[in-house]
Amino acid sequence: MSKAVYFDLDGTLIDSIPDVHLCLATALTNAGRQPLPVHRVRPLVGGGVKIMVEQALVQTGDAVSTLQINEIAANFIAEYRKYPVRRTTIYPGGIKLLNDLYELAFGLAICTNKPRATTDPVMELLGLQRYFSLVCCGDEMTHQKPDGRHIRHMLKIMNLAADQVVMVGDSHNDVCAAYEAGVRSITVTYGYDANVLDHPNLDLVVDHLEEVPAILEKVWKQ
């Protein structure tokens, strides 16, 4: 039976908060808003750019309109495309894990709410693209995480059943999407969602990416 591992990107494989913070600060400043400190940006990541921008606007002023959200989101994306990797890093053990899974012929895919315009430059500059046969971005989905249809769409593309896939992520979006799609999930504890371990549908948990292969072995032996 073919097996595949789907990875969330931000907060799971890469720590992108430093660059997201810088680009969001520029977008907010250009809109006449005060930039947020990095610790307040961290929990905003994971739901997609427009959700992040809307929450940032709520925190920096009273009036929030769809036009404002769209304009600042576009400004953020343009800034991020220019400067995708200034301070972003791959989490410890990430490259070794991908190499090991790739050599074992696991199918590898990215399941992210990040838009395509910023996902591709980040992955390319970090040397991650070569590992993944599919990268499924949030702005290309009718239904994105936490909706399980994001993952089910990927299963259809890769011609896989739910029991052939494990989702690795850091947030309630990942846990919810995996649960709704009938896919087992592994949650990393170091990510951006401080409350993810309280999620009622939490499945498997690791503190480090190096622990993932042992968990996968147990899942597929069951």
Q: What is the CATH number of the domain that holds 67?
A: 1.10.150
Q: Which residues contact 122 (CB under 8 A, 6 or more apart)?
A: 9, 14, 16, 84, 85, 88, 114, 128
Higher pLDDT, residue 62 or 110: 110
How large is the C-alpha radius of gyration of the chain? Answer: 17
DSSP 8-state code for residue 130: G
61, 97: one domain: no
Give tens-digit pLDDT for 3-22: 999 999 999 999 999 999 99
Residue 52 class from Cβ within 10 Å (0-12 exposed, 13-18 middle, 19+ buried)? buried
pLDDT digits 0-9 by tens, 114-139? 999 999 999 999 999 999 999 999 99
Output the average pLDDT for the chain. Answer: 95
Any bridge partners for residue 82, and if so which?
Answer: none
Structure pTM? 0.95
Same domain, 52 and 98: no
Catalytic (active-site) positions: 8
Contact criterion met (CB below 8 Å) for 57 and 33: yes
Does 112 lie in the same domain as 38? no
Residue reference for tokens 């947020």:
36
Q: Where are the beta strands (DSSP E) in the chain?
A: 4-7, 14-15, 89-90, 107-111, 134-136, 165-169, 184-188, 204-206
Last residue of a domain, one of 36, 51, 82: 82
Do 37 and 62 reside in the same domain of the chain?
A: yes
Instruction: Please tell me the predicted confidence (pLDDT) of residue 46.
Output: 87
Q: Are residue 195 and residue 105 in the same domain, yes or no?
A: yes
pLDDT attached to residue 61: 85
Query: Rounded to an integer, what distance in angstroms lies between the CA atom of residue 196 and that of residue 2?
Result: 29
Length of the chain: 222
Summarised one tens digit per residue, pLDDT across range 166-182 is: 999 999 999 999 999 99
Q: Which of 82, 104, 126 is the last residue of a domain?
A: 82
Check residue 100 and give its pLDDT. 96
Task: Tell me the residue range of the domain where 190 lies.
Answer: 4-15+88-221
Return phi, psi of residue 165, to 5°. -130, 145
Domain limit, last residue, from 82, 111, 130: 82
Burial of 1 (0-12, 13-18, 19+ CB in 10 A): exposed
Q: Are residues 45 and 97 in the same domain?
A: no
Residues 71, 211: Cα–Cα separation, whole Å:
41
Q: What is the mean predicted confidence (pLDDT) over 151-169? A: 98
CATH number at residue 213: 3.40.50.1000
Sheet holding 165-169, edge to edge: 134-136, 107-111, 4-7, 165-169, 184-188, 204-206
Residue-level pLDDT at 1: 57
Look up residue 99 and give its two tokens.
């190499």
Query: Total structural domains in the chain?
Result: 2
The backbone torsions φ and ψ at residue 171, rounded to the nearest 5 degrees and listed phi first, read: -135, 170
Encode pLDDT of 62-106 as tens digits. Answer: 778 999 999 999 999 999 999 999 999 999 999 999 999 999 999
pLDDT at residue 62 in the model: 73
> Burial, 173: exposed, middle or buried (Cβ in 10 Å; 0-12, 13-18, 19+)?
buried
Note the helical H segments in 83-148: 94-103, 116-125
